[in-house]
Structure 1
Amino acid sequence: MIIDLPSTTTSQLNAKLVDLRMRGGAVALGRVLTLVIATDDSVELEDAIEAANDASRMHPARIIVAARGSRSAAPRIDAQIRVGGDAGAGEVIVLRLYGALARQADSAVVPLLLPDAPIVTWWPGHGPRNPAADPLGALAQRRITDSAAEKQPVRALRARAEHYAEGDTDLAWTRLTLWRAQLVAALDLPPYEPVTSATVTGQADSPSTELLAGWLADYLRVPVDRVKAAEGEQGIVGVRLERDSGPIELYRPDGRIGTLTQPGQPTRRIALQRRSVSDVLTEELHRLDPDEIYARALAGLRLLKARRKAGAA
Structure 2
Amino acid sequence: MIVDLPDTTTSQISKALVKIREEGGAVALGRVLTLVIATRSGAEEEAIEAANDASREHPMRVIVVSTTADADGADVAPRLDAEIRVGGDAGASEVIVLRACGDAADSPESLVMGLLLPDAPVVTWWPGEAPARPGESPLGRIAQRRITDASAQADPQAALRVLAENYSPGDADFAWTRLTLWRAQLAAVLDQPPYEPVTAVDVDGAIDSPSTTLLAAWLQMQLSAETTYRLTPVEQGSHGIHGVRLERPSGPVDLVRDIPGVATLRQPGQPTHDVALPRRSLRDCLADELRRLDPDELYGEVITVGLAELGAPAPDREEAVR
TM-score range, shorter chain: over 0.9
| 2:320 alignment partner in structure 1 | none
| 2:64 alignment partner in structure 1 | 65
Residues 1:49 and 2:55 aligned together: no
Residues 1:277 and 2:262 aligned together: no
C-alpha separation between the residues in 2 aligned to 1:249 and 1:45?
40
C-alpha separation between the residues in 2 aligned to 1:230 and 1:133?
34
Write out per-residue CA displacement over residues 133-159 of structure 1, whole angstroms, 9 at most, x where no aligned residue: 111011100000011111111111110
Residues 1:125 and 2:140 aligned together: no
Of 94-103 and 14-23, the range deviating more from structure 2: 94-103
C-alpha separation between the residues in 2 aligned to 1:213 and 1:206?
12
Residues 1:176 and 2:179 aligned together: yes
Aligned AA (1:276): S
* Equivalent pair of 1:212/1:297 in contact (CA under 8 Å): no
Q: How is 1:190-209 mapped onto 2 (pairs within 5 angstroms)?
A: 190-209=193-212
| 2:7 alignment partner in structure 1 | 7
Aligned AA (2:66): A
| 1:158 alignment partner in structure 2 | 161
Give % identity.
Answer: 59
* Equivalent pair of 2:251/2:268 in contact (CA under 8 Å): yes
- TM-aligned CA deviation for residue 307 of structure 1: 8.4
Write out per-residue CA displacement over residues 183-203 of structure 1, whole angstroms, 9 at most, x where no aligned residue: 000001111011111010000
- TM-aligned CA deviation for residue 79 of structure 1: 0.5
Aligned AA (2:299): Y
Residues 1:214 and 2:217 aligned together: yes
| Aligned with 1:78 (options 57, 77, 81) | 81
Residues 1:291 and 2:296 aligned together: yes
Residues 70 and 229 from structure 1, CA distance in 2 versus in 1: closer, same or farther, beyond 3 angstroms? closer
| 2:264 alignment partner in structure 1 | 259
Residues 1:145 and 2:148 aligned together: yes
- TM-aligned CA deviation for residue 296 of structure 1: 2.0
* Equivalent pair of 1:166/1:290 in contact (CA under 8 Å): yes
Residue 252 of structure 1: SS of its match in structure 2?
strand
* Equivalent pair of 1:237/1:255 in contact (CA under 8 Å): no
C-alpha separation between the residues in 1 aligned to 2:259 and 2:113?
45
Residue 266 of structure 1: SS of its match in structure 2?
coil
- TM-aligned CA deviation for residue 11 of structure 1: 0.6
Residue 253 of structure 1: SS of its match in structure 2?
strand
Residues 1:32 and 2:32 aligned together: yes
Aligned AA (1:240): R
Q: How is 1:93-108 mapped onto 2 (pairs within 5 angstroms)?
A: 93-108=96-111
- TM-aligned CA deviation for residue 230 of structure 1: 6.4
Alpha-carbon RMSD: 1.3
C-alpha separation between the residues in 2 aligned to 1:187 and 1:170?
26
C-alpha separation between the residues in 1 aligned to 2:145 and 2:294?
7
| 1:241 alignment partner in structure 2 | 246
Aligned AA (1:46): E
Residues 159 and 230 from structure 1, CA distance in 2 versus in 1: closer, same or farther, beyond 3 angstroms? closer
Residues 1:110 and 2:93 aligned together: no
Residue 311 of structure 2: SS of its match in structure 1?
helix
Runs of at least 5 residues in structure 2 that lack an aligned partner in the other structure: 315-322
Moved over 3 A (4+): none
| 2:318 alignment partner in structure 1 | none
C-alpha separation between the residues in 1 aligned to 2:312 and 2:84?
50
C-alpha separation between the residues in 1 aligned to 2:180 and 2:268?
24
C-alpha separation between the residues in 2 aligned to 1:106 and 1:284?
22
Residue 64 of structure 2: SS of its match in structure 1?
strand
Aligned AA (1:297): V
Residue 141 of structure 2: SS of its match in structure 1?
helix
- TM-aligned CA deviation for residue 306 of structure 1: 6.8
C-alpha separation between the residues in 2 aligned to 1:6 and 1:234?
41
| 2:192 alignment partner in structure 1 | 189
- TM-aligned CA deviation for residue 284 of structure 1: 0.8
C-alpha separation between the residues in 2 aligned to 1:229 and 1:306?
13
